[in-house]
């Protein structure tokens, strides 16, 4: 019986999708663009369904998301790139500062992009007078698709591969993943695909269930908190299979930068969920008027005419001598 291969061969996919003269269109950039466009379309579709929202009233018109696209792009790119520089490779980029702007080569930290997008949403919500928690919910609902696409692009780019996995049937031999003492490629976990499944597909499905089955958008912040908590948990799980880029030693345990940055997200997500669930308001599915009498249904007392001490009714203004009738 022939011996099984040590690992699966890495598919030969060119990281460059299209070349037009000096312009090269990378899969990595396509992943970001497609993710942002989907989140924009999905957010507008949610805003177009009043029954999903508090008081059956969306927090803003769907067309307002058209203005937010540029803000989101700047938040993702600036935050993601600065996160990569500051969190993972500060010395490398200080030695070659101009490489900071080479975003087409990859090198975008999710946690930095998360911070940048949050800053963009805060500024946009303040400028447009939109309830900030509802804007967080709109964006969070569609973001997992973009995350999943970018993780697939990480796989195509032969980057962010997993830890060594000898004997694993689905281990992949990444060309840039290093060799062992015998000069053979090291079989590794395809952790990019794990993250695409967890942080992309599964997270999107979970949030969709919360939105459409449990009407989570009626509790501002609940979707955003659930996204933050779930992403932190899924990223923490993935870090056990992913080759760490930067490791800290705390006691006898080695903790990767991804783990360290995911822990605050888990705590913040829990806090936001608790806040959203405890933030009770009189609104229900019936709208803002439910819970109090509608004007047409209120019982109005008929005002009785005043009577003199003798019991006779006081004459109205038309019967009072000396007063003109207005």
pLDDT of residue 6: 76
Could you tell me which residue, 12 or 149, shows the higher pLDDT? Answer: 149
177-181, 226-230, 240-244, 245-249: the lowest-pLDDT one: 245-249
Q: How far apart are CA 263 and CA 82, in angstroms?
A: 20
Segment 121-133 mean pLDDT: 96
Q: Is the pTM of this model over 0.85?
A: no
Model confidence band, residue 285 (pLDDT cutoffs 50, 70, 90): very low
pLDDT of residue 100: 81
Of 282, 162, 299, residue with least CA distance to 218: 282
How, if at all, do strands 253-256 and 247-250 pair?
A: antiparallel
Q: Check pLDDT > 80 for residue 33.
A: yes
Q: How far apart are CA 157 and CA 154, in angstroms?
A: 5
Q: Check pLDDT > 70 for residue 171.
A: yes
Tokens of 208: 């969709």
Tokens of 171: 């281990």
Query: Which residues does 254 contact at the CB level (< 8 Å), separation at least 6?
Result: 244, 247, 248
Output the average pLDDT for the chain. Answer: 86
Model confidence band, residue 289 (pLDDT cutoffs 50, 70, 90): very low
Q: Check pLDDT > 90 for residue 295.
A: no
Q: b/e for 240-278, b at 16 or more Cβ within 10 A? A: ebbbeeeeeeeeeeebbbbbbbbeebbeebeebbeebee
- β-bridge partners, 172: 8, 188
Percent of the chain with pLDDT over 90: 67
pLDDT of residue 104: 62
Model confidence band, residue 106 (pLDDT cutoffs 50, 70, 90): low
Model confidence band, residue 282 (pLDDT cutoffs 50, 70, 90): very low
Q: Check pLDDT > 80 for residue 304.
A: no
* DSSP 8-state class, residue 244: P
Q: How far apart are CA 88 and CA 67, in angstroms?
A: 32
pLDDT of residue 242: 96
Segment 110-114 mean pLDDT: 92
pLDDT of residue 172: 97
pLDDT of residue 299: 41
Q: b/e for 285-309, b at 16 or more Cβ within 10 A? A: eeeeeeeeeeeeeeeeeeeeeeeee
pLDDT digits (tens, 9 = 90+) for 40-96: 999 999 999 999 999 999 999 999 999 999 999 999 999 998 888 888 888 888 888
**For the chain, what are the domain ranges?**
8-209
């Amino acid at each position: 019986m022939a011996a099984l291969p040590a690992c699966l061969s890495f598919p030969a996919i060119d990281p460059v999708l299209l070349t037009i003269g000096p312009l090269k269109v990378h899969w990595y950039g396509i992943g970001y663009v497609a993710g942002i466009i989907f989140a924009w379309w999905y957010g507008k579709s949610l805003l177009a369904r009043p029954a999903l929202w508090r008081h059956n009233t969306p927090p803003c018109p769907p067309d307002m998301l058209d203005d937010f696209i540029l803000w989101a792009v700047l938040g993702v790119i600036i935050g993601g790139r600065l996160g990569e520089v500051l969190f993972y490779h500060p010395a490398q980029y200080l030695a070659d500062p101009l490489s900071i702007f080479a975003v087409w080569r990859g090198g975008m930290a999710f946690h930095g992009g998360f911070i940048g997008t949050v800053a963009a949403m805060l500024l946009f919500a303040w400028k447009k007078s939109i309830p900030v928690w509802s804007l967080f919910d709109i964006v969070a609902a569609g973001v997992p698709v973009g995350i999943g696409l970018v993780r697939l692009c990480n796989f195509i780019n032969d980057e962010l591969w997993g830890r060594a996995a000898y004997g694993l049937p689905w281990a992949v031999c990444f060309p840039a993943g290093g060799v062992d003492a015998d000069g053979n490629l090291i079989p590794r976990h395809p952790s990019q695909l794990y993250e695409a499944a967890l942080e992309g597909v599964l997270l999107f499905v979970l949030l969709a269930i919360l939105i459409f089955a449990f009407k989570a958008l009626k509790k501002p912040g609940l979707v955003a908190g659930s996204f933050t908590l779930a992403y932190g948990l899924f990223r923490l799980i993935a870090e056990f299979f992913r080759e760490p880029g930067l490791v800290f030693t705390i006691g006898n345990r080695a903790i990767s930068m991804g783990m360290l940055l995911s822990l605050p997200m888990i705590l913040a997500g829990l806090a936001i969920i608790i806040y959203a669930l405890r933030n009770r308001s009189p609104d229900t599915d019936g709208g803002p008027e439910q819970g109090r009498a509608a004007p047409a249904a209120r019982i109005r007392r008929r005002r009785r005419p005043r009577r003199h001490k003798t019991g006779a009714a006081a004459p109205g203004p038309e019967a009072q001598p000396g007063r003109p009738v207005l």
